[in-house]
Structure 1
């Protein structure tokens, strides 16, 4: 495990998201929300954070003005992506917003370097100085281009990075500052099942390695002189599965958490199935059955399915997942978002 790394995010000093933006102030102030959901058990009307679903695995996670974009994919219905040697997929839906319609952001969380998560439009348009957190493989790809990305940080499985939220929101007590932080931890993901197919993929590099993510939103204390913060007082915990199958490596996540709970899980579904010249028919993301088993393994308070119907390679429809959830008795712990809808929640300990 690598030493803890740190990244300071200051909403007053954001980088423009796009190359052709001179200032982040040119961006819209917010996203257009068509419908808002809160906890299935009810709301206290004090929510201070949200998840906005754009489409595929693309979301905006916001907490008191800090905004993180996940897996940016802004292609439209009819557009194609390249998923491996001889493998393409066609998009069936439109995103809730286009790339240039996003508000100013602080960083991108990229689960892996695949065109349905980081499309050619995004790659062409993004400011090369913008903060990106991803896998070691994605960092190698993004930083060795003719026009390289210059602010890519990589996290391997169970490596962590502390995002310090600067520019306000601090309180002082006993000579110490209470600082908002988001701890980002890379979690295991396996796009290809173990065995001969995994060995073949290692040789062919057809499907890239992938991460999931654990986000711990909360506060930490540090001395006024600016020393490293102590352990985070977590007020909300989000697990994002990434494009993974239900593999044994995922069991280590709840084992490491111990008695700590997951408040929200974003699960990538779709049962993505590819067929190409160099690979046999292969499912590379969880289908409905695996999605339910992941809920049983992680036991999150709330689950939101994403990445379920945007491409023609997604062969496990959301209706199958809903049926499994209802049959398994988990109906009251799932929120279903359509593109353009938002889930709001409260980070404890403010």
Structure 2
């Protein structure tokens, strides 16, 4: 295991595996597990039967991370094609599982407050005491701007480079405590410059985070050791701020990167005036910058505003001879890995 220098955590969150459904109106007990994965994949060049964690791809940027008996849900969007509107865009795929059919969820990791990452049905349906780690802007939307009784009660905000420490149920009195360190990573949904300055004033596109998740253990209350590191890009473009990530994590292995692609355009592919998420070329550029051991693309074809399909990314990856660094998941498939 390894550790990276870090400031005192802004938040310390203690999780206990929940037996409650993630939704507040579902009176029946939730399923005990996710549906069986359509396919289970592992490291592309060093597969192993010894795995203790998994990532299940639901669709868009929605995934379920399972480790040490807890489940973390990222950017929950469970709209279907028949209920597809997320503002001006239209969903063209269905999620692998519905929100009400999920097993218990212990925490939500929300990159930003936007309808294709936290749809209106999800927002209305979720239990109000479900822990959520998100941006300061999203916390204000989920707490400060909610009417009494509708506020989410366990929302933890992290800005770029701020850190939270999530403590999991102990493995035993004589063993280190399973712990997840989550750090807000930089991200920009709008290109730097005048457009970004205008957006800061108008608030048309919300601020966004990437995340660094470090799965490991705390031998003591003041120490943390990382056994597996996952970088989630969030909805960002390939901006200079991202160069700080490999600088800060120099000589620290990044095991897995979840990269948001699609080349999302505003107002849409027929009139692509502005691109607000990475296309294939920027995605390969981020792969080279971060140097993760394995990359899994997500957020690439679920809406009609995506200009850069997954096939473009695959071609760019092969052109740069990076194919052995990528695992492709379809909705309903999982990636299994081992946390040291």
TM range (shorter): over 0.9
- Residue 38 of structure 1 corresponds to 42
Answer yes or no: is the 8 Å Cα contact 1:52–1:343 preserved in 2.
yes
Do structure 1's residue 122 and structure 2's residue 87 form an aligned pair? no
SS at match of 1:294: helix
Does residue 151 (structure 1) correspond to residue 154 (structure 2)? The answer is yes
Gaps of 5+ in 1: 223-228
Match of 1:196 in 2: 194
Please give the secondary structure, in 2, of the residue aligned with 1:312: coil
Q: 1:169 aligns with which of 171, 180, 194?
A: 171
Shift of 1:45: 0.6
1:61: how far off?
A: 0.6
* Secondary structure at 1:111 match in 2: coil
Name the CA shift for 1:287/1:244 in 2 (closer, same or farther; >3 Å): same
Measure, in 1, the Cα distance between the counterparts of 2:9 and 2:49: 39
Aligned to 2:124, what secondary structure does the other structure show? Answer: helix
Q: 1:331 to 1:81 in 2, by over 3 A?
A: same
Correspondence for 2:279 among 248, 273, 287: 287
Distance 2:272 2:199 in 1: 11
Q: Where do residues 54-69 of structure 1 align in structure 2 (5 Å cutoff)? A: 54-69=58-73
Q: Check whether the contact 1:78–1:90 (CA below 8 A) recurs between aligned residues.
A: no
| Cα RMSD for the two superposed structures | 1.7
1:273 counterpart (251, 265, 279): 265
SS at 1:275 equivalent: strand
Q: Indicate the residue corresponding to 2:109 in structure 1.
A: 109
* Contact 2:164–2:181, Cα closer than 8 Å, also in 1: yes
Q: CA deviation at 1:28?
A: 4.0
Change (3 A) 1:257 1:14: farther
Q: 1:340 to 1:79 in 2, by over 3 A?
A: same
> Helix, strand or coil for the counterpart of 1:260?
coil
Q: For the residues of structure 1 that align with 2:290 and 2:102, how far apart are their CA atoms?
A: 31
Write the mapping of 1:5-16 to structure 2, written as runs, cut at 5 A.
5-11=11-17, 13=18, 15-16=20-21
In structure 2, distance between residues paired with 1:102 and 1:156: 29
- Cα distance in 2 between the residues matched to 1:273 and 1:315: 7
Q: Distance in 2 between matches of 1:76 and 1:253?
A: 35
Q: Are the counterparts in 1 of residues 9 and 165 from structure 2 also a CA contact under 8 Å?
A: no
1:142 alignment counterpart: 142
Aligned length: 329
Identify the residue that residue 184 of structure 1 maps to in structure 2: 182
Structure 1 position 310 matched with structure 2 position 293: no
Please point out which of 220, 227, 240 is paired with 2:232: 240
CA deviation digits over 1:207-228, x for unaligned, max 9?
0000000000001112xxxxxx
1:81, CA displacement in angstroms? 3.5
Deviation at 1:10, TM superposition (A): 1.1
Structure 2 residues without counterparts, runs of 5 or longer? 1-6
